[in-house]
Each structure stands twice: as structure tokens, then as C-alpha cells.
Amino acid sequence: MALTAMINEHGGPEQFNLVDLEIGAPAKGEVRINHKAVGLNFIDVYQRVGLYPMQLPHAMGMEASGVIEAVGEGVTHLKVGDRAAYASNPPGAYAEARVMPAAQVCPLPDEVSFEEGAAMMLKGMTVEYLFHRTVPLKAGDTVLFHAAAGGVGLLACQWARSEGITLIGTAGTDEKCQLALDHGATHCINYRTEDWAAKLQELTNGKGVDVVMDAVGKDTFEGSLDSLKPLGMMISFGNASGPVPPFDLGILGKKGSLKLTRPTIFTHIGDHATCQAMAKHLFEKVASGDVKINIGQRFALQDVGKAHDALEARQTIGSTILEI
């Protein structure tokens, strides 16, 4: 049996139910993993409220770390006793243990703790694909990154610094701006006290940036487009303020032949070999010290509702984990 957080209906954090589920043996292509720590991400909120609908009832959570307890037929990259971590569909990580597909479960090096592994897989592999698989970025390029003090943002700040990329962040308090700067952002704009779009033009001498990485969505979309250089790339990879409304595609031409993409991590990690390569790259960044994992909040599994309250209220800094 394993204590598991599930929802029966879409809605607020009060929808969480903690139940004991029978955990069986893994089938072909699956593993059973005993969790040590579980990561929280904004996609969990989207799924809970129904922005990304799921067939209910369903267990929640996309990311965790732990020890492999059993291996199904055909699984060759993991064995019983291995340390492992993952970000993966289907949801079900908010649990003491689970059986799941093995393809996106990755061997976790000894140099990376279970807490770090749980806190960084989805966020870290997101940063990996943003910087290396969505648009070619090189030293000297300039990036605008919204929510730079969040879990993904603090990793992106460090990643940019390690690659020689200028990152201009935005955040909602002076303290969060300082945190982004401490983690490698070149500049950070407090969007509550400054006109961030005007300040960005000032910082870039009116040229704009090569790439915008925007997980905020509706509230920042128009300003983000206006922040790009001609031929720049807009990467919209989240909807924290709500989904971007429909717009005239011709605007991209009028604003300088801009490019726009809406990627998801699950497309990238859908291929087993690609997923393992992305995780290996991430582990190397962390093991080398180029990227440090900031765990700002810890909650018990039983307090998962409180953890979601904090996420939605934007009261979190860095990554949030559930301790098992």
C-alpha cells in the first residue's frame, strides 16, 4: 500500500484526497519506484483546475526521485536498487510509491541528492530544451526571462551564466529580483514598480532581445513580442496568468518577422533516448556546480493542499518539494 494524493473533481486544493492504494508489480516496460521526495510544478495546478483536463479520478504529480524496487520485462537502463528520478506522464508522483512506465525514469548520479533530483527534473529539463533544443543560442545572445525567481527561472539564470548568455529577468519584488541576480541574471526588473517593457528597451539600447522565454502567458504576451529584435524568437511555454488569447498571426510580420513557438517538455522527453540525454546534460550541469538547486519550500505529503495554495499565490521561491 502507498499513500497517494488524488483528485475526484477539478477545482481548488480542497479537492485533494489522500488514499492508500495497492501497488502491484511492474508490467513489461515498467518499474516500481519507492519515492524519497516529490517535486511540485505549475503544470500540477493546471491539471488540478482543469486547464489541462484529465480523466478523473486521477493521482497527481509529474516529478519525483527514489529507489527502484522492481523492474518489468524489457527494462534495461535501470535495475533494482538504483537511485532514479523522473519527470513524466502519466501523473501520479504525489505518492509514497508507484508503478510507472520506465522510459522517462533516469538513473540518478550519487552526486545529486534525492531532494535535488525531485526538485529539478521537470524544471531542469525544461531549461535544457529552452536553451539547446528550441532555438540555437550562443554566448553573447540576449534573453528575456519572465518569473526569473521561480523554480524554472533560477535554473535558467544559472544556465545562462554558464553559457555566456545575457539574461534579463522579471520578478514581482525587489527581493526576488536580487535572488535572480544572485543566481546569474545580468539584470532583473521589478514589474510591480517599473514598466518592464520600457526598462528592457532601455537596457538593450532600444534593440530588444534575441529570445523571450515566457511562462506567464496572457499578461506578458504582447509586451514580450514588443521586446524582441527583428527575426527574434518568442518561446511561450506556460500560462501562469492564463492562456494567451487568439491573435492575428500577421502581427508577427508587422513587428519584425518574429518567430513564435509553444513547446512542451513532454514532446521532447517522449523519445526515450532524448529524455535520457537531456537528463544526463542536466545532471552534468548540477554535478559541475554550474547549476545549484534552490529548494525554497518543503511540505509533507499530507499538506499537498497547502503547497498548492502557496504555488498559486506566488509565495514560493525556487523549487517546492513534498517530503516522503
Residue 241 binned pLDDT confidence (cut-offs 50, 70, 90): confident
pLDDT interval class at 314 (50, 70, 90)? confident
Residue 130 lies in a domain: no
Determine the pLDDT at residue 17: 96
| Boundary residue ending a domain (240, 262, 284) | 262
pLDDT at 102 over 90: yes
- H helices of the chain, in order, are 42-49, 114-132, 151-163, 174-182, 196-203, 221-226, 250-254, 265-269, 272-288, 304-312
- Same structural domain, 284 and 251: no
The answer, yes or no, to whether residue 51 has pLDDT greater than 90, is no
Q: Is the pLDDT of residue 315 over 90?
A: no
CATH at 309: 3.90.180.10
CATH of the domain at 162: 3.40.50.720
Domain match, 246 and 222 both:
yes
- Of 262, 283, 301, which closes a domain? 262
User: Is the pLDDT higher at 317 or at 196?
Assistant: 196
Query: Is 94 a member of any domain?
Result: yes
203 and 89 housed in the same domain: no
Question: How many Å apart are CA 75 and CA 63, to the nearest integer?
Answer: 20
Asked if 116 and 32 sit in the same domain, the reply is yes
Do 111 and 188 share a structural domain? no
Q: Does 256 share its domain with 272?
A: no
| 69 pLDDT higher than 90 | yes
Q: Is the pLDDT of residue 322 over 90?
A: yes
Residue 272 lies in a domain: yes
Determine, yes or no, domain membership for 128. Answer: no
**In a shared domain, residues 257 and 145:** yes
Q: Once rounded to an integer, what is the mean pLDDT over residues 291-311?
A: 95
Q: Is residue 199 part of a domain?
A: yes
Q: Hey, what's the cell of 47?
A: 491539471
On whether residue 182 sits in a domain, the answer given is yes
Q: Mean per-residue pLDDT for 293-299?
A: 93
Q: Is the distance from CB of 177 to CB of 149 less than 8 angstroms?
A: yes
Res 42 pLDDT > 90:
no
Q: Is residue 214 part of a domain?
A: yes
pLDDT in tens, 137-161: 999 999 999 999 988 999 999 999 9
63 vs 53, more confident: 63
Across the chain, what does the average pLDDT equal? 96
Q: At what angle do helices 304-312 and 42-49 cross, to 10 degrees?
A: 100
User: For residue 305, what are the domain limits?
Assistant: 2-122+266-323
Phi-psi region of 205 (alpha: psi -120 to 50; beta: other; left: phi over 0): left
Together in a domain, 112 and 139? no
Identify whether the C-beta of residue 23 lies closer than 8 Å to the C-beta of residue 34: no
What percentage of the chain exceeds 90 in pLDDT?
A: 91
What is the domain count for the chain?
2
The C-alpha cell at 207 is 534593440
Residues 144 and 36 in one domain: no
In this predicted structure, the answer to whether residue 181 has a pLDDT above a threshold of 90 is yes
Query: The dihedral of CA 310, 316, 320, 324: what is its sign?
Result: negative
Query: 243, 262, 281: which is the final residue of a domain?
Result: 262
The pLDDT of residue 294 is above 90: no
Task: Return the percentage of the chain with pLDDT > 70, whole number.
Answer: 100
Residue 129 located in a structural domain: no
Pair 238, 281 in one domain: no
Residue 302 CB neighbours (<10 A): 12
21 with 47, same domain: the answer is yes
- For residue range 110-145, what is the model confidence (pLDDT) as tens digits? 999 999 999 999 999 999 999 999 998 999 999 999
Kindly tell me if the per-residue pLDDT of 167 is higher than 90: yes
Q: Residues 96-132, buried b or exposed e (16+ Cβ, 10 A)?
A: bbbbbbbbbbbbbeeebbbbbbbbbbbbbbbbbbbbe
Same domain, 169 and 253: yes
Contact 203, 166 (CB under 8 A): no
